[in-house]
Structure formats: structure tokens, C-alpha cells
Amino acid sequence: MSDPETLPAGVHPEVELLPWYVNGSLRQDDRQRVARHLESCPDCRRELDELTDIRRSLKTMYDAEAEPSARLARSVMAQVAEDSGRRSLRAHDRSWTSGLDRWFRSLLMPQWVPTLAAILLVFQMGLLVWVALPPGERGEVSTRSLRRQTATIKVLFQPSATEEQIRSLLQGLPARVVDGPNAEGTFTIEVTSGDPSASAPLVQLRDRRDVVRSAELVRP
């Protein structure tokens, strides 16, 4: 059964505030208003006395009520300790990852952007220059995509030349046989040379008359 929303007829409105006048939590202005009313109203003073007695009785009753068991406090404190340990671990994990995160983010701060862009440009330029350089100028390191420059020469060996003489000559150039002999007995050899006319290998070949009858550059 719910209570009426209003006080019974004839009850002074100050009565509504008396419980909080008794418990001491009334605001100063309300407190003064109630105090002034009480000076001139015996009915409300009687109500105040009853409320004061009820407050005293309830305090006595609740003060004497049973307390929770000591086990409750121990159980709660144990769970809090466990919680606290987990919280510390999470905080440690967070501090490590957030430190890394902060470091990466600091690199993206506006004042670092021109520096990072310049470093990236220099790196790209260096890469382009390195790729464009001829293989000889890059030392022994060769790229995957560019072939060494070669020249093709048609050579007719002396019939008297031995296989060992021919091999020794080709290794000295250096050169390798890529085709032949054809019907005329001519071999096609490939020599490595930065010079497209392959003049030096040609001179070396022609100088060996004991082994080579003729040597002609094949124009690509």
C-alpha cells in the first residue's frame, strides 16, 4: 500500500521538514524557518519530541544490531589484493607498449616531418644512382636486371691449332664459344668488353696467328 502524496489536512507544512531538523541535515534557511515556527506551535513541538524519541530508539536498535562476520572483510580484501596485482601487471604492459607507441608517434611530430622527408629523398636518389651505374663501376656486385656488355666475334681457327691452345686463348680474353663450328669451320665467341667495337680482344686474337686464322666482329 503506497502512502498519500500529501500531508493530512491541518498538518503544518513545517512538519515535513522536522525529521531533517532532528537529524541535523537541514539547510540553514529551512532550519531557521522551522525554529521560528516551533517557537509558536505546541503541536509541532510535540511532533518534534516524538521524532527525537524515535531517532534515539532507532539509534539504540541499529547500534546493537549484529555486525557482518570477519570472514567477509578477509574475503573482500583478498579479492582486492588479487585485483590490485592484475591491475599492476596490466599497467606494466601498458607502460611498455605505450612507450613504444610514444616513440613512434614522436617521429610523426610536425617538426620531424621535413627531416624524415629529406632522408627518404636522399635514400631514393642514392638507390637510383646505384642502379644506373655501369656494373664495372659498382665493383663485383651485379644487379639482377642488367646484363654485362658483350661483343660477338666470328673466329676461324688454324687447322693445326690444338684444343688446348684454343681453350687457353679463350680463357685469357676472357671469352666463351656460343656457337659453331659452322660448315666453314667458323666459331662464334662472346667476349666481355666495355667497348662495343671489342678492339682489344680482336687485336689479341689476330696476334695469335699460330692459333687464329681470322677474327671478325659481328655487328649487332
Partner 1 sequence: MDATHVKDRSDHDLLAAVAHGDRSAFERLYHSYEKRVFQYVRTLVADGSLAEEIVGDTMLAVWRGAGTFAYTSRVSTWMFGIARHKALDALRRSGRRQREVELDGAAELPHPHERPDEAVLRNQLATLTQRAMAALTREHQEILRLVFYEEQPYEEISALLGIPTNTVKTRVFYAKQRLKEQLAHLGQTESIR
Residues near partner 1 (CB under 8 A): 1, 3-7, 11, 15-17, 19-20, 22-26, 50-51, 54-55, 57-69, 72-73, 75-77, 79-81, 83-84, 87-88
**Range list of H helices, 64-150:** 70-107, 113-132
C-alpha to C-alpha distance for 88 and 82, rounded to whole angstroms: 10
Question: From the CB of 64, what's the least distance to partner 1, in Å?
Answer: 5
Closest to partner 1 by CB, 69 vs 145, is: 69
**How is residue 194 annotated by DSSP?**
S
Closest to partner 1 by CB, 64 vs 141, is: 64
Question: From the CB of 96, what's the least distance to partner 1, in Å?
Answer: 18
Question: From the CB of 84, what's the least distance to partner 1, in Å?
Answer: 6
Closest to partner 1 by CB, 5 vs 137, is: 5
Closest to partner 1 by CB, 60 vs 145, is: 60
Cell readout for 148 is: 654485362
Cα three-residue angle 23-27-29, rounded to 5 degrees: 125
User: Which of 198, 216, 187 has its CA nearest to residue 151?
Assistant: 198
Question: From the CB of 93, what's the least distance to partner 1, in Å?
Answer: 15
Q: How many CB atoms lie within 10 A of CB 88?
A: 10
